[in-house]
């Protein structure tokens, strides 16, 4: 069954260990660093009841209806329906919640499509994974993930770091489960979720078996703590001044696992680098990440382009030919982002070994390269369009409430069709989207949320069809000889 926003908020009061500004956070739902952002996530859950036809699905073998993100698409139509569900939620958050609950839900559904890749000599995690998918779907649970070892010395394997337990590893095996110790980065929204899936997407040699483990644990499991980054929500002086940071700060944290016990039934891959790799790359899990991420990215570019249009109109430059060129460029980028989603769905391919389809991998993975390139260009174009208006803004909404200052702002800050309040409101939103610390984090997010480029870009070659392109060039070469002159 699907949850309400209240169900989600109630579940957050479970004693989880979150550190922020030297203090332990007591209750996310009331804390100034989290309360509005968790409310935004709760609003997503509430949207489900308003749009059940888009956001839910009946899934064979699972008590439902469940969130559509947990559905395993069997046909192109089901895959497209999943894309529409991603679009609806991402529009509700303007593309600024990267790790909304549907992100990881769809990857878990991807893993459950071919659980057999986890049936290995030594350990078979396939039944655990299937049971996990069912439990997460039936509970409409919010899963975060930490897949990357902390950035300590990237020239060395996890076992070669200056201490044994810096990267998460198995430290004990018991009859009823395993004990893990170490850290993982970056847990986006992990502090706001119900469970964290730990895994590894990067290939590791057999010598690193202790570090090759995948499992899921509740966020409040004993031994787990989150060291949160600066809270943009807490620093946001008001919703009017920082409309995005104050409400859509999904939080990022170093996640420390200090002798965390994991029962066997929650383990998916155990001391097995191949199984860890297969969990993401031999199932539709990674391409499902990309399907969601690309849909959200398309929405974010739509939103940013909308801001650019409003800013150009507010400055009354919208009809100037060079400005039309700038807006045209933005529209071309929005449609590039859209085309990648539509094409990956339209060209969907069968999942080997399963009665299911997945987005066309080579097309979908193009987003991995295109997204990080496009995002800074979009931001740059909006900054160029907006000029000094992004900076010449009163310090806070309070200036508009103070009659002496409001009189000055009313006289000197306005545009055709915009009084001081509406112009300041628009430009403050634009600043939060392109220039604030929150905006800076999004710039970095769009570059790295899929992992490091040297890890994910080779996937384009591995999972794509480079031979086809080489053959085309080869056919041209074969068409003439030295003797042809
Ligand atoms: C805002 C944000 C949120 C994120 N959220 C999550 C999340 O929720 N869950 C999660 O699991 N991950 C998440 N990530 C991704 C993850 O934590 C890493 O940031 C990402 O995998 C990149 O790894 P890294 O930062 O350690 O970069 P590194 O691997 O250190 O790479 C940084 C740069 O160093 C160079 N470099 C390093 N090693 C090599 C090499 N072997 N070959 C060539 N060049 C190299 C390259 O220039 C590379 O771009 C997030 C990242 C960001 C920025």
Summarize pLDDT for 384-405 with one digit per residue, the tens. Answer: 999 999 999 999 999 999 999 9
CA–CA separation, 276 and 149 (whole Å): 14
In which region does residue 225 sit, left (phi positive, over 0), alpha (psi from -120 to 50) or beta (all else)? beta
454 within ligand 1 shell (Cβ under 6 A) = yes
CATH code, domain carrying 454: 1.20.140.10
> Please, are residues 250 and 244 in contact by the beta-carbon 8 Å criterion?
no
452 within ligand 1 shell (Cβ under 6 A) = yes
Interval 26-46 mean pLDDT: 98
> Residue 463 pLDDT > 90, yes or no?
no
- Is 363 strand, coil or helix? helix
Q: Residue 60: inside a domain, yes or no?
A: no
Q: Residue 479: inside a domain, yes or no?
A: no
User: How many other C-beta atoms can be found within 10 angstroms of the C-beta atom of residue 205?
Assistant: 10
Q: Residue 15: inside a domain, yes or no?
A: no
Which residues touch 408 (CB under 8 Å, ≥6 apart)? none
Interval 132-153 mean pLDDT: 96
Beta pairing class for 195-198 and 143-146: parallel
Tell how far the Cα of 449 is from the centroid of ligand 1, in angstroms: 8
Give the H/E segment covering residue 18. Answer: strand 17-20
Q: Residue 451: inside a domain, yes or no?
A: yes
456 within ligand 1 shell (Cβ under 6 A) = no
CA–CA separation, 35 and 29 (whole Å): 5
188 within ligand 1 shell (Cβ under 6 A) = yes
> Residue 485 pLDDT > 90, yes or no?
no
pLDDT bucket at 455, cuts 50 / 70 / 90: confident
pLDDT at 202: 87
> Please, are residues 102 and 137 in contact by the beta-carbon 8 Å criterion?
no
> Residue 456 pLDDT > 90, yes or no?
no
Minimum CA distance residue for ligand 1 atom 20: 451
CA–CA separation, 392 and 314 (whole Å): 14
Minimum CA distance residue for ligand 1 atom 42: 454
Return the higher-pLDDT residue of 336 and 1.
336
Q: Residue 441: inside a domain, yes or no?
A: yes
Q: Which strands sit side by side in the sheet containing 195-198, from one edge to the other?
A: 143-146, 195-198, 213-218, 267-270
Residue-wise pLDDT for 210-250, tens only, equals 999 999 999 999 999 999 999 999 999 999 999 999 999 99
Tell how far the Cα of 448 is from the centroid of ligand 1, in angstroms: 6
Residue-wise pLDDT for 95-108, tens only, equals 999 999 999 999 99
Residue-wise pLDDT for 158-204, tens only, equals 999 999 889 999 999 999 999 999 999 999 999 999 999 999 988 89
Give the H/E segment covering residue 431. Answer: helix 420-434
Ligand 1 atom nearest to CA at 151: 26
Q: Residue 221: inside a domain, yes or no?
A: no
For tokens 């997407």, the residue is: 201
Q: Residue 400: inside a domain, yes or no?
A: yes
> Residue 459 pLDDT > 90, yes or no?
no
Minimum CA distance residue for ligand 1 atom 29: 452
CA–CA separation, 346 and 334 (whole Å): 18
Q: Residue 333: inside a domain, yes or no?
A: yes
> Residue 128 pLDDT > 90, yes or no?
yes
Give the H/E segment covering residue 50. Answer: helix 35-50
CA–CA separation, 384 and 373 (whole Å): 17
Minimum CA distance residue for ligand 1 atom 1: 445
In a 10 Å sphere around its CB, with 0-12 CB exposed, 13-18 middle and 19+ buried, how is residue 218 labelled?
Answer: middle
> Residue 356 pLDDT > 90, yes or no?
yes
> Residue 143 pLDDT > 90, yes or no?
yes
Domain coverage including residue 407 = 285-474
pLDDT at 344: 98
Number of domains the chain is built from: 1
Ligand 1 atom nearest to CA at 201: 11
As a whole number, the mean pLDDT across the chain is: 96
Residue-wise pLDDT for 363-384, tens only, equals 999 999 999 999 999 999 999 9
């Amino acid at each position: 069954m699907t949850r309400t926003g209240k169900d989600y908020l109630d579940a957050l009061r479970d004693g989880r260990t979150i550190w922020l500004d030297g203090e332990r956070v007591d209750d996310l739902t009331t804390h100034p660093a989290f309360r509005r952002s968790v409310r935004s996530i709760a609003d997503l859950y509430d949207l489900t009841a308003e749009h059940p036809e888009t956001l839910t699905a009946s899934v064979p073998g699972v008590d439902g209806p469940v969130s559509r993100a947990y559905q395993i698409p069997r046909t192109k139509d089901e895959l497209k329906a999943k894309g529409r569900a991603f679009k609806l939620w991402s529009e509700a958050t303007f593309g600024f919640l990267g790790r909304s609950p549907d992100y990881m839900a769809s990857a878990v559904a991807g893993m459950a499509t071919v659980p057999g890749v986890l049936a290995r000599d030594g350990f078979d995690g396939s039944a655990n994974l299937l049971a996990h998918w069912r439990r997460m779907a039936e509970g409409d649970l919010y899963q975060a993930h930490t897949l990357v070892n902390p950035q300590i010395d990237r020239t060395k394997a996890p076992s070669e770091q200056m201490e044994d337990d810096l990267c998460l590893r198995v430290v004990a095996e018991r009859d009823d489960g395993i004990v893990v110790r170490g850290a993982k980065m970056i847990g986006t929204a992990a502090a706001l979720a119900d469970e964290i899936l730990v895994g590894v997407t990067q290939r590791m040699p057999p010598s690193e078996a202790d570090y090759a483990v995948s499992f899921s644990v509740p966020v409040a499991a004993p031994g787990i703590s989150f060291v949160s980054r600066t809270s943009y929500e807490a620093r946001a002086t008001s919703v009017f001044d920082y409309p995005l940071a104050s409400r859509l700060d999904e939080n990022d944290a170093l996640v420390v696992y200090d002798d965390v016990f994991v029962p066997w039934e929650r383990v998916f891959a155990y001391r097995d680098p191949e199984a860890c790799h297969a969990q993401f790359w031999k199932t539709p899990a990674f391409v499902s990440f990309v399907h969601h991420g690309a849909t959200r990215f398309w929405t974010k570019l739509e939103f940013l382009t909308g801001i650019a249009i409003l800013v150009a109109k507010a400055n009354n430059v919208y009809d100037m030919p060079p400005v039309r060129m700038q807006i045209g460029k933005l529209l071309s980028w929005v449609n590039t982002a859209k085309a990648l989603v539509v094409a990956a769905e339209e060209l969907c391919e069968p999942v080997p070994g399963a009665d299911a389809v997945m987005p066309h991998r080579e097309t979908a993975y193009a987003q991995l390269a295109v997204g990080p390139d496009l995002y800074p260009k979009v931001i740059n174009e909006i900054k160029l369009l907006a000029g000094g208006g992004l900076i010449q803004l009163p310090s806070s909404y309070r200036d508009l409430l103070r009659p002496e200052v409001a009189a000055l702002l009313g006289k000197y800050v306005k545009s055709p069709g915009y009084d001081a309040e509406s112009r300041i409101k628009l430009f403050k939103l634009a600043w939060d989207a392109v220039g604030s610390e929150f905006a800076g984090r999004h710039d970095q997010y769009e570059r790295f949320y899929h992992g490091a480029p040297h890890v994910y870009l080779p996937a384009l070659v591995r999972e794509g069809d480079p031979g086809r392109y080489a053959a085309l060039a080869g056919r041209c070469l074969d068409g003439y000889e030295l003797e042809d002159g």
